[in-house]
Structure 1
Amino acid sequence: MQAHRLLAHPAHPPARVTGIEARVIGFDADWLRVRWRIEGAQALVIPPFAGRGRADELWRTTCFELFLRPNGGDRYVEFNLSPSERWAAYDFSSYRDGMADRPASREPDCTMRQGSTFAIFDAAIPADALPQLPADANFAAVIEEQGAVVSYWALAHPAARADFHDPACFTARVAPPRGA
């Protein structure tokens, strides 16, 4: 599946992270599987294990995000996925407006693995929690490194301020699985 190279926001450069790629690695009737690969992850701060469950403000430390906007409309969905195994899902009626918890029949499954110079974060999102597909997408990540260095990564950064919700960031596409 296509890899999407994320860009660090220029106002918030990383310390050691040199690149992040995100991609859909699988999609069936039950799960959408997404992977983020972080290069230069030696100083990555990983939130402590907390067990599955909904939580707000996951973006305050290392967190991976997926935004989906069906049919090019104003409505979109945000998924926040943490290496702690906590997660959040929100519906928005338009740009940063009308935020509400999005229901999910099952909890996402999140796994973080670290190598010597890279880390891999995999998330499986229940298919019934997804909006109607195909959808425009923004793959994003908040990366905290040792020394309280926080960088913001997305497919695009059209503004001086990091903003994953900006419609101009939705440059990828997620389609339903073949045969669905």
Structure 2
Amino acid sequence: MVPLIPHPSHPPLAVRAVEAEVIFPKPGLAMARYRIDGIAELVVPEFSGRGRQDELWQTTCFELFAKNDDGTYREFNFATSGRWAIYDFDGYRAGMRDFDPTAIPEIVAQSGDRLLTVNVTLSAQDLAGFTMAGFSVVLEEQGGQKSFWALAHTGEKPDFHNAACFTARLEAPAPP
């Protein structure tokens, strides 16, 4: 797992660390995994059924960005509520449109006293051809305090679409 860092202008209350990764556990499957340490104040949306929903970033949300060499990219948003959204972009915040996944993402969240883990199972086909990844997380804590976590940050405001956030190599296997 790779560590994410909070945007300096939006510090967390109790969250101490956030990590993320993509693995390919078996042919045809991909898994985006997130681990949050320090969840005492974290707002965790309760499961409300699997389905597409926009604006998940308004509360605790887990994101994966996958980018092609030509600058096009795909944004995946996941919530512990079971809701998800996936968008394709032609370039930086341009040409946004819904992407229909090969298989509906399956989101599983488990928490203990200190840790929250979120595992999202996806079709590896939906990541095929992408070479770079960006991981980001929006965490809402009690009182509406939000922190914005990513591999890197530039600028005064959080911007997960910024090219600086796409720093992880994505070695997606070819579809079966």
Aligned residue for 1:128, secondary structure, equals: helix
Note the aligned Cα RMSD (angstroms): 1.6
Q: CA deviation at 1:27?
A: 4.1
TM-score w.r.t. the length of structure 2 is 0.94
The answer as to 2:75 corresponding to 1:98 is: no
TM-score w.r.t. the length of structure 1 is 0.92
Q: CA deviation at 1:119?
A: 0.7
In 1, are the aligned partners of 2:28 and 2:175 still within 8 Å (CA)? no
Query: In structure 2, what is the Cα distance between the partners aligned to 1:128 and 1:179?
Result: 5
Partner in structure 1 of residue 129 of structure 2: 132
| Regions of 4+ moved over 6 Å | none
Aligned residue for 1:158, secondary structure, equals: coil
1:123 is aligned, of 107, 120, 123, to 120
Q: CA deviation at 1:176?
A: 2.2
Query: In structure 1, what is the Cα distance between the partners aligned to 2:60 and 2:52?
Result: 16
Q: What pairs with 1:146-161 in structure 2 (closer than 5 Å)?
A: 146-161=142-157
Q: CA deviation at 1:142?
A: 0.4
Q: What pairs with 1:22-33 in structure 2 (closer than 5 Å)?
A: 22-33=20-31
Greater alpha carbon shift after TM alignment, 170-179 vs 61-70: 170-179
Which residue type is aligned with residue 116 of structure 1?
D
Aligned residue for 1:156, secondary structure, equals: coil
Aligned residue for 1:36, secondary structure, equals: strand
Q: What pairs with 1:76-95 in structure 2 (closer than 5 Å)?
A: 76-95=73-92
Aligned length: 176
Q: What pairs with 1:1-180 in structure 2 (closer than 5 Å)?
A: 3-71=1-69, 73-133=70-130, 135-177=131-173
Query: In structure 2, what is the Cα distance between the partners aligned to 1:96 and 1:81?
Result: 19
1:27-83 Cα offsets, whole Å, 9 max, x none, are 433221121110101111011212111000000000100000022x21000000110
Q: Any stretches of 5+ residues in structure 1 without a counterpart?
A: none
Query: In structure 2, what is the Cα distance between the partners aligned to 1:28 and 1:99?
Result: 31
Q: CA deviation at 1:21?
A: 0.7
Q: Any stretches of 5+ residues in structure 2 without a counterpart?
A: none
In 2, are the aligned partners of 1:53 and 1:87 still within 8 Å (CA)? yes
